[in-house]
Amino acid sequence: MNILTTVLEVIATIVVLVLVIALFVPKAYNVQRNIIINKASQQVFDYVKFLRNQDHYSKWVMMDPNKRMSYKGTDGTVGYTAEWDSDMKQAGKGEQTITRIVEGERVDIRVVFIKPFAGIAETYISTEPAADASTTMVVWNFDSKMAYPMNFMLLFMSMEKMLGKDMEESLANLKRNLEA
């Protein structure tokens, strides 16, 4: 009985320690990547404002070609929603909705993750002329939060590296597609 009590006390101490540490760990994180595309800004914007075009460049969207998709609204307009449901754990289930468009400059998208973990991310893709009118700087920004006490995991994982790598790959796909 003494050993069981000691084990339970150690487990309780670890749980309390994790909960206390999680109070001081940031909950929010931001990841941003950019790329220069050798196409005019309006042409790039006219491509990225349509969520269905992510089928051709987003690593996350392309992860499971067998995922079930449904759509609501008119693509390229505020309120358009694309929902996905995948049997692959990495792809999960969720939806993304266009929440704001600044014509020719920026599209804001809210991403709601349902599986494998619940969460919400506010993202945007912006376009602006780069060195001259024939090149475009594309910026992809991802803001999200991890709820307490799950934010404790941020001590051991770099969202900057994990998400950043996927965003870089997606932007490279976008560049390749638009410059082809």
Q: Tell me the mean pLDDT in the region 117-142.
A: 92
pLDDT the model gives residue 56: 95
Q: Tell me the mean pLDDT in the region 137-146.
A: 92
Q: 3-state DSSP helix/strand/coil percent for the chain, to nearest 5?
A: 40, 35, 30
Give the residue ranges of DSSP H helices in 29-82. 41-48, 59-62
7 inside domain: no
4 inside domain: no
pLDDT the model gives residue 5: 87
Kind of pairing between the strands at 106-115 and 81-85: unpaired
pTM for this entry: 0.83
Residue keyed to tokens 């475009």: 136
CB 77 within 8 A of CB 52: no
Q: What is the DSSP letter of 63?
A: S
pLDDT the model gives residue 1: 67
Q: Tell me the mean pLDDT in the region 98-125.
A: 94
Comparing 60 with 155, the larger pLDDT belongs to 60
Write phi, then psi, for 22 (nearest 5 degrees): -60, -25
158 inside domain: yes
pLDDT tens per residue, range 72-106? 999 999 999 999 999 998 889 999 999 999 999 99
109 inside domain: yes
14 inside domain: no
Distance CA 123, CA 142 (A): 4
Structure token pair of residue 139: 């910026």
Mean pLDDT of the chain: 91
Comparing 162 with 46, the larger pLDDT belongs to 46
Comparing 32 with 3, the larger pLDDT belongs to 32
Is the pLDDT confidence value at 153 over 70? yes
Give the count of beta carbons closer than 10 Å to the beta carbon of residue 68: 11
Q: 5-9, 64-68, 153-157 — which one is most confidently predicted on average?
A: 64-68
pLDDT tens per residue, range 39-59? 999 999 999 999 999 999 999
Q: Which residues pair with 139 in a beta bridge?
A: 34, 126
Residue type, 124: Y
DSSP letter for each residue of 112-153:
EEEESS-EEEEEEEEEEE-SSTT-EEEEEEEEEE--TTGGGG
Is the pLDDT confidence value at 128 over 80? yes
149 inside domain: yes
CATH number of the CATH domain containing 170: 3.30.530.20
Is the pLDDT confidence value at 151 over 90? no
What domain count does the chain have?
1
Domain extent for 41: 27-179
Look at residue 88 and give its three-state secondary structure.
coil
pLDDT the model gives residue 138: 97
13 inside domain: no
104 inside domain: yes
Angle 43-47-48 from CA coordinates, rounded to 5°: 120
